[in-house]
Amino acid sequence: MKLTRRDFARLGAATALSKALPLRAQAKSEGRKLRWCIVGLGRISMGQFMPGLPLSKTGKVTALVSGHRGKAEQQATVYGVRPSAIYSYDDFDRIRHNDEIDAVYIALPNSMHAEYTIRAAQAGKHVLCEKPMATSLADCKAMIEACRKANVKLMIAYRCQYHPSHLKAIELIRTGAVGQVQAIDSAFGFNIRPGEWRLNKKMAGGGPLVDVGIYCLNASRYLTGENPQDLKAYASVIDHDGRFAQVEESDGWTMKFPSGIVASCSTSYGAMMNGYFRVHASKGWIYMDGFNYSGMHLTALLANGQTIDQPDPIAAPRQFTAEADYFADCVRNNREPKTDGAEGLRDMTAISRIYESAGLRLGA
């Protein structure tokens, strides 16, 4: 994964069409909003993504998929969705006949990502899928192939890669503003409540590593612009209170990248870790406080002695607005997303290696 200054510019403006587009994509390039079907009405969709769309100039909610009709009808009233555009999981495939759906946002338990991505692609709809991409490498590859075959876009929802503060951190590294990066450390975790579906390995695919540890992994990769070459990992359970019968409680791992940069990361379902990354470089440092939906804070010391103190410029739920706008631009301009299926697969490949090193395995 190599991020250049051109990647940053692309986030601010659409590029010109480089080749003829399908009629569906041509219609979007003429200014009509991208019409979203929300698959899964949970905390992230109802609390973040859906409220972010009305703040967007590029998208709107036009359909809902839920196993709870009453909940869906309530959300339909809020967003002006027609009752006939409310679907259950059983009749999901009927979205292919709804011309008022251009794309789906998949916010389901991890084990369901592959199935509904593939079914959405077969219905001719573009896909924005929450991370982690899936619970097996085979499923990740099947998702990529299904979207390729259907000629639809697939993007994995790595919202931090579209956040101004994270982009600024990447820019400081790429331009040499802090000198040569030597090491990175990162952590993210929380004390999980009993009964969460994330504690069910069949549904989640793993423990905190696939849920919030993936932020630390992905950050290490986009900050270096590289994929880990060598890694060593450990997993543990400290609180034997019944929550961790199927998944690990905590993970710690180290990585060495081809450039020689080393990274140390940790994640937990038993400790309160306000997610962060710290970049240690030869002539300065960068610190990002938070991977959360709001409140990210970037500070840095540059080689020239200048300091940066940048509070979060995007209040929730505008992080999701930026992500949706970027995806809409990719659809309009027939451009592959920066965080496409291949990017999701790279993370899941690294996660599989981390688990293997720790004596565990990805998936049920």
**pLDDT of res. 364:** 83
Residues above pLDDT 70, as percent of the chain: 91
**In sequence order, what are the beta bridge partners of 103?**
36, 126
Q: How far apart are CA 47 and CA 314, in angstroms?
A: 16
Residues above pLDDT 90, as percent of the chain: 90
Tokens linked to 192: 């999980």
Residues 345, 133: contact at Cβ < 8 Å?
A: yes
Active site residue 131: yes
Q: How far apart are CA 26 and CA 20, in angstroms?
A: 8
Biggest CA pair distance of the chain: 60
**pLDDT of res. 349:** 98
Instruction: Write the burial class of residue 350 (CB in 10 Å: 0-12 exposed, 13-18 middle, 19+ buried).
Output: buried
Q: Is the pLDDT of residue 214 over 70?
A: yes
**pLDDT of res. 19:** 30
Residue 190 is inside which H or E element, if any?
strand 181-191
Half-sphere exposure of 76 (CA within 13 A, CB side): 18
**pLDDT of res. 22:** 37
Q: Is the pLDDT of residue 3 over 50?
A: no
Question: What sign does the CA torsion over 33, 37, 39, 41 have?
Answer: positive
Q: Is the pLDDT of residue 11 over 80?
A: no
Q: How far apart are CA 76 and CA 108, in angstroms?
A: 18
**pLDDT of res. 256:** 98
Picking from 22, 341, 2, the residue whose alpha carbon sits closest to that of residue 153 is 341
When pLDDT is cut at 50, 70 and 90, the band that residue 17 belongs to is very low
* 252-302 tens-digit pLDDT: 999 999 999 999 999 999 999 999 999 999 999 999 999 999 999 999 999
**pLDDT of res. 31:** 67
- Mean pLDDT score, 119-138: 98
**pLDDT of res. 313:** 94
pTM for the predicted model, two decimal places: 0.91
**pLDDT of res. 32:** 87
Please, where in the chain does CATH 3.30.360.10 lie? 160-314+341-357
Residue 228 vs residues 134, 220, 263, 272, 346: alpha-carbon distances, Å: 20, 9, 9, 26, 10
Residue 310 is inside which H or E element, if any?
strand 307-311
Q: Is the pLDDT of residue 82 over 90?
A: yes
**pLDDT of res. 4:** 44
**pLDDT of res. 342:** 98
Strands 86-87 and 103-106: unpaired
Q: What is the CATH architecture of 13-158?
A: 3-Layer(aba) Sandwich (3.40)
Please, where in the chain does CATH 3.40.50.720 lie? 13-158
Q: Is the pLDDT of residue 46 over 70?
A: yes
Q: Is the pLDDT of residue 112 over 50?
A: yes
The CATH number of 160-314+341-357, from 3.30.450.20, 3.30.360.10, 3.40.190.10, 3.40.1390.20, is: 3.30.360.10
- 259 or 1, greater pLDDT: 259
Judged by average pLDDT, the poorest of 21-30, 42-51, 100-109, 156-165 is 21-30
Q: How far apart are CA 326 and CA 320, in angstroms?
A: 10
**pLDDT of res. 229:** 97
Residues 274, 287: contact at Cβ < 8 Å?
A: no
Q: Is the pLDDT of residue 9 over 70?
A: no
Q: Is the pLDDT of residue 29 over 50?
A: no
Q: Which of 116, 215, 222, 355 is catalytic?
A: 215
When pLDDT is cut at 50, 70 and 90, the band that residue 2 belongs to is very low
Q: Is the pLDDT of residue 12 over 50?
A: no
**pLDDT of res. 1:** 46
Q: Is the pLDDT of residue 21 over 90?
A: no
Q: Which of 28, 125, 131, 168 is catalytic?
A: 131
**Per-residue DSSP letters for 225-269?**
TS--SEEEEEEE----SSTTSSS-SEEEEEEE-TTS-EEEEEEES
Judged by average pLDDT, the poorest of 2-16, 87-101, 165-179, 303-317 is 2-16
Instruction: Write the burial class of residue 307 (CB in 10 Å: 0-12 exposed, 13-18 middle, 19+ buried).
Output: exposed
Strand order in the sheet with 285-289: 230-236, 250-256, 262-268, 181-191, 270-281, 285-289, 297-301, 307-311
Q: Is the pLDDT of residue 26 over 80?
A: no
| Average pLDDT over all residues of the chain | 92
Question: Can you tell me whether residue 62 is helix, strand or coil?
Answer: strand
